[in-house]
Amino acid sequence: MAQTQSFDVTSGVDLQEVDNAVNQAQKEIGQRYDFKGQNAELEYDRKEGTLTLTASDEYYLNAMWQVIQDRLFTRKVPIKNLDRGKIEPATGGAVRQVVKLKQGISQDTCRAIVKFLKDKKLKRVQAAIQGDAVRISSPSRDDLQDVMTMLKGEDYDVELQFGNYR
C-alpha cells in the first residue's frame, strides 16, 4: 500500500504580530497632525481577540481603521480574518467599533471546503474535518499540491493557511 501524504487547512492570526501592529498604529495616531485634539483610542484585548476603536466621529474612526489596517498588512496579518462590527454610539458623542479576530475555520467553512473537494471528484483525495481545521490526504503529493492551488483560487470568509504537510 502506498504511503499516504497529508496536510491541514487552518486559519488564524499571529496574536503577537497583531500586538506589534496595534502598538505601531497607536504611536502613529498619537503623532499625526489630523488626530491632534481628537478623541482617538485603540484598545487590543488579546484574551477576547478583539480590537476596539473609539473616535470622536465616524470620519476619524475610518481614518483609524485605515492606519491599523496598513500596520496589520505590513506585518503580514491577514485582513480577511478581521470581522468589523457595527459602528455604535459611545459616551460623549463619540463612536465605537469592535473588530473581532477570527481564529480557526468555522464549521460551515469546513463543510464548504469538503463539499468543494467532493464536487471536484478528485480520485484518491480525502478530506476530513478535525475541529476547526480540515485534514486533506492522498497517496500523491502532486494531487495535494493541486488541491492547495484550487483552494487558493476559492474565496472563503477567512484566509486559508496550509500546514502540517507530511
How many separate domains does the chain show?
2
Give Rg (Cα) of the chain. 20
pLDDT at 20: 93
87 in the same domain as 35: yes
- The answer to whether residues 79 and 116 belong to one domain is no
Based on the fold, state whether residues 115 and 93 are members of the same structural domain: no
Q: For each successive 10 residues of the chain (166 residues), what is the average pLDDT? A: 78 90 92 86 90 90 92 91 89 89 87 86 84 86 84 83 79
* Mean pLDDT over each residue of the chain, to the nearest integer: 87
Cα→Cα distances 110→25, 39, 70, 133, 159, Å: 33, 41, 29, 7, 13
What is the C-alpha separation between 89 and 99, in angstroms, rounded? 15
- CATH code of residue 155: 3.30.70.860
Q: Do 96 and 110 belong together in one domain? A: no
pLDDT tens profile 75-116? 998 988 898 989 888 888 889 999 999 888 888 888 888 888
CB 4 within 8 A of CB 140: no
- What local confidence, expressed as pLDDT, does residue 2 receive? 56
Residues 32 and 73 reside in one and the same domain: yes
Domain membership of residue 115 as a residue range: 5-12+104-163
- pTM to 2 decimal places: 0.81
